[in-house]
Structure 1
Amino acid sequence: MSYKQGRYSKLIKPVIRLIDLIILNGAVFLFPINLSNHYLFVCYISVSWVIIAVRNNFYEVYRHTRIIQVTRLLVNQLVFFTFILYAYMGFFKQPHIGRVALAKYLLFTIILIFLFKFITFYFFKKFRSVLQGNQRDVIVIGENTKIRQLIQTFKNQPDFGLRFRAQFCSNDKDFSLKKCFKYVVENNIDEIFVSVSELSNKEMNLLINFADNNLRTLKFIPDNKDIFSKRLQYEYYDFTPILSLRKIAVHEPLNAFVKRALDVIVSSIATVFLLSWLTPLIALLIRLESKGPIFFKQKRHGLDGHEFGCLKFRSMAVNKITDDLHVKKNDMRVTKIGRFIRKTSIDELPQFYNVLLGHMSVVGPRPHMTSLSEVYSKKANKYMVRHNVKPGITGLAQVSGCRGEVETDFDIINRTKYDIFYIENWSFLLDINIILQTIVNVFQGEDKAY
């Protein structure tokens, strides 16, 4: 489940990971372990720690996570790391390593990491409860024992950082989902908790569509309704069970690590072996034909609907309507060299820099101009679901023939279906297949590439 993050929230986990690695590597030089190759040992323990952490979800600690769960994560992580650490001697044939010094190193790092984990855990609880930092506004829909219990949890445990704003009772005469939706939008509500037993299937579908189209987190207080027979994410808020509707594959720690690794590898190869020599050549051709910048930067919507500057080689003469008017067939704004680089998709190559910076992924839903996203969201149901993942240089929709100008409503509806299918059925092999198919399409040429 992806959680809506504050401005700096996304930096918390990377910083915590970095500090753990500093502890692991820094402590090596405090004990006479008698290593024959310090660099090999440091690389070994760092890579091993990261792999074990991803496998054990070691850094997946949320505001509602209990202390017993944190303890279990620590024990699992450190037990596996202990085995891997002592395996180093046999794997790399290091009989001269000081076993007592290695044991002291292990004990020292375990104590430090235990302390750091608990200190940060309690610090963020205090930060949310005392300083009211990193708060999320929530509403609940329903009126029963579990709902009352959940509301009490929100009020009694401010360290969750979930600020209860309103309750909508489905039994009230003036109750309507439209009022709920209006309240959510006007008050910028982040999460909606609903008791599924109190809404009809039709109302539930309306609520799901609203949450998808407006990028709100929707969570359910479960019962035995058949409508939720598929596998959902199960969590506890204190003693209240909660179900989260959409579980996105690329948000799982291991999958996110694999996908990011693929992004970095592919974009690094493209940058070093392609853009390094192609950029000066394309720059020269662009400047010979028309005045203006070599690169074109356009605001587009990315992960969670946040705007970012999408890079391209400039393929049009400088004009004032670039951000308002999508390129059409035989567009007079496109230059001669522009037609060539658009036809061959060379104009998209600078987006590998966006991938390296973390704004985009190699594979994902194509980002649209900010001026068009609002238009498309009204034409294609669940269009905003596309923003649950990073946008891509290429995507399933593009290799399936859905690229170029959006001429009819059917075009964007069809693309959205492909994008949602990709999000809900992501796999590493699917990404590889899309990348290979994109390369084939570049050499074959595409009718709608203009």
Structure 2
Amino acid sequence: MQKSYFSIPLSLPFHIVALNATFYFFIPETYGNGLEGIIYYNLAWFLTTHSTNFYATVRRQVFTIKEKSFFTLFVLYGMAFFASFTFFGFKDYSPLYLIAVYAFFCAQILILRMFFHWARKIYLSNTVNNTKVIVVGWDKNLKKVRAIFDNPEHEYEYVGFFDNKTSKSPTYLGPIEDCYKYIFENDISEVFCIASSLSKEEIKSLMQIADNSFKRIRIIPDNKEMFSRAMSIELYGTVPVLNLRASPLELEYANFVKRVFDIVFSIGVILFVLSWLVPVVYILQKFDSKGPLFFKQKRDGVNKKTFLCYKFRSMTETNESDSKMATKGDMRITRLGKILRKTSIDELPQFLNVLRGDMSVVGPRPHMQLHTEEFQSTVDKYLVRHFLKPGITGLAQIKGYRGEIIDKSDIVNRVRYDIFYMEKWSFKLDLRIIYLTVFNALSGEEKAY
């Protein structure tokens, strides 16, 4: 995730304020006859900026001021602006006056864009970059690749390159076989591979290591026929780069939409459900068993960052809480706990984690740390799921892979669905998972114990 996460989206509300303030003060009739005008002008702005990709949201898009982009935007929005006076019958303004108002609005947008461009450039130049990258392989394209890292807009810190051909370059780090050890010892986050310099076996080996060690790998492709389900070609200027683990959630606007939904949804649950459910569960627990209201456990979140996961306590307190998963007929589960777990009510306090930003409503389920340590060394691609925030529910859960892990196929299939979710995320998919989670909880689930 870029450290300048809000630098681009932050310009949007300033533009909206400029739009509404200009039209309100200079053409007040458009805002004085109900909500139609307000909705029309703001919706038209969102549609035209989206269609022209005015708000660049991914790392490879450079936040610049392009004449063609502005011209296209101003022409399209201008058509919507002037057409509104025909649609709504506003007749109190002369054409020259309206042209002057629209020109004034366009000038504000241009000035604001220049300001944010300048401010973002200053911010990036003074920000220490922690996204350390190396290049594996060398050919004539290495100089072009270096241009990716030298541009502060892309927020990379280039360390050097590995290649079997020795080089006098100060950034030469050694032969390719040494790169594996170097990646781990120097906290390298991303690896760029020049495919033309590598054999298919070397690329497969790097892919395997990256997927199982929580590293990102990007390939500058040639014709070595390396394909994966989630790969995408990304253009850094004119240099094509093959991303083998692409996800829609790499887009800033997608993360923004998901986070806004998480906040709104969790606040709703906290206010309308937990506000009365917490005292009810507390009272029932006092009659049922001794112990605290909440069970708190350290779990690994996005980027393997540790957080405290909250649940309603459903078991008696023992020394096995952080080492043994609940099993069918588990004697540790209390009478009240059986009801809480069967209905998944015990998971509801995790909406506090969602509001805090530790979790999302939908995502891979977080595991206790002991199991994370076990699975990352025994389950292929297990760590890939930690590129996302963990969720209260997820695709694997609605597909039947929740709760106790009896066979190795249970965790293998859970990881498979988690990776599929990461690669195919959409807001519609999140809503479907939430709906099916509620439906399954009400109808009863076989592994809910």
TM-score when scaled to structure 1?
0.82
> 2:170: which partner in 1?
none
Cα distance, 1:270–1:160 mapped onto 2, change above 3 Å: closer
Cα distance, 1:236–1:414 mapped onto 2, change above 3 Å: closer
Instruction: Tell me, in whole angstroms, the C-alpha distance in 2 between the residues paired with 1:229 and 1:316.
Output: 43
Counterpart check, 1:36 vs 2:37: no
Cα distance, 1:258–1:158 mapped onto 2, change above 3 Å: closer
> 1:138: which partner in 2?
133
Query: Is the Cα–Cα contact under 8 Å of residues 403 and 448 in structure 2 kept in the other structure?
Result: yes
Number of positions where the alignment pairs a residue of Structure 1 with one of Structure 2? 442
> 1:111: which partner in 2?
107
Ranges in structure 2 where 5+ consecutive residues have no aligned partner: 168-173
Q: Which amino acid aligns with 2:121?
A: K
Trace 1:41-440 onto structure 2 (pairs within 5 A).
41-42=37-38, 44-61=40-57, 65-66=61-62, 70-89=66-85, 94=90, 103-129=99-125, 131-151=126-146, 154=149, 157=151, 160-171=154-165, 175-177=175-177, 179-228=178-227, 232-252=231-251, 263=262, 267=266, 270-271=269-270, 273-290=272-289, 292-318=291-317, 322-440=321-439
Instruction: Tell me, in whole angstroms, the C-alpha distance in 2 between the residues paired with 1:64 and 1:439.
Output: 38
RMSD: 3.6
Instruction: Tell me, in whole angstroms, the C-alpha distance in 1 between the residues paired with 2:297 and 2:76.
Output: 46
Instruction: Tell me, in whole angstroms, the C-alpha distance in 2 between the residues paired with 1:251 and 1:154.
Output: 18
TM-score when scaled to structure 2?
0.82
Query: Is the Cα–Cα contact under 8 Å of residues 249 and 425 in structure 2 kept in the other structure?
Result: yes
Cα distance, 1:376–1:77 mapped onto 2, change above 3 Å: farther
> 2:10: which partner in 1?
15
Provide, for residues 80-129 of structure 1, a one-character-per-residue CA deviation record: whole Å limited to 9, x for no partner.
44344445545556555786665444333322222222332243334434
Query: Is the Cα–Cα contact under 8 Å of residues 310 and 350 in structure 2 kept in the other structure?
Result: yes
Query: Is the Cα–Cα contact under 8 Å of residues 193 and 219 in structure 1 kept in the other structure?
Result: yes
Provide, for residues 377-429 of structure 1, a one-character-per-residue CA deviation record: whole Å limited to 9, x for no partner.
21211112212333222222112221112244332112101211222233455
Query: Is the Cα–Cα contact under 8 Å of residues 48 and 76 in structure 2 kept in the other structure?
Result: yes
Ranges in structure 1 where 5+ consecutive residues have no aligned partner: none
Cα distance, 1:387–1:446 mapped onto 2, change above 3 Å: same
Instruction: Tell me, in whole angstroms, the C-alpha distance in 1 between the residues paired with 2:293 and 2:37.
Output: 45
Please state how far the C-alpha of 1:238 moved relative to its aligned partner.
4.8
Q: Which amino acid aligns with 2:10?
A: V
Instruction: Tell me, in whole angstroms, the C-alpha distance in 2 between the residues paired with 1:260 and 1:91.
Output: 37
> 2:2: which partner in 1?
5
Cα distance, 1:84–1:331 mapped onto 2, change above 3 Å: farther
Please state how far the C-alpha of 1:357 moved relative to its aligned partner.
5.0
Please state how far the C-alpha of 1:434 moved relative to its aligned partner.
2.9
Q: Which amino acid aligns with 2:405?
A: V
Please state how far the C-alpha of 1:139 moved relative to its aligned partner.
0.7
Query: Is the Cα–Cα contact under 8 Å of residues 31 and 101 in structure 1 kept in the other structure?
Result: no
Q: Which amino acid aligns with 2:412?
A: I
Instruction: Tell me, in whole angstroms, the C-alpha distance in 2 between the residues paired with 1:404 and 1:385.
Output: 20
Instruction: Tell me, in whole angstroms, the C-alpha distance in 1 between the residues paired with 2:56 and 2:288.
Output: 52
Instruction: Tell me, in whole angstroms, the C-alpha distance in 1 between the residues paired with 2:319 and 2:372.
Output: 19
Deviates more, 1:254-263 or 1:12-21: 254-263
Instruction: Tell me, in whole angstroms, the C-alpha distance in 2 between the residues paired with 1:399 and 1:148.
Output: 48
Instruction: Tell me, in whole angstroms, the C-alpha distance in 2 between the residues paired with 1:191 and 1:54.
Output: 30
Please state how far the C-alpha of 1:282 moved relative to its aligned partner.
2.3
> 2:171: which partner in 1?
none
% identical equivalent positions = 37
Cα distance, 1:346–1:77 mapped onto 2, change above 3 Å: farther
Query: Is the Cα–Cα contact under 8 Å of residues 230 and 423 in structure 2 kept in the other structure?
Result: no
Instruction: Tell me, in whole angstroms, the C-alpha distance in 2 between the residues paired with 1:51 and 1:300.
Output: 41
Instruction: Tell me, in whole angstroms, the C-alpha distance in 2 between the residues paired with 1:151 and 1:12.
Output: 24
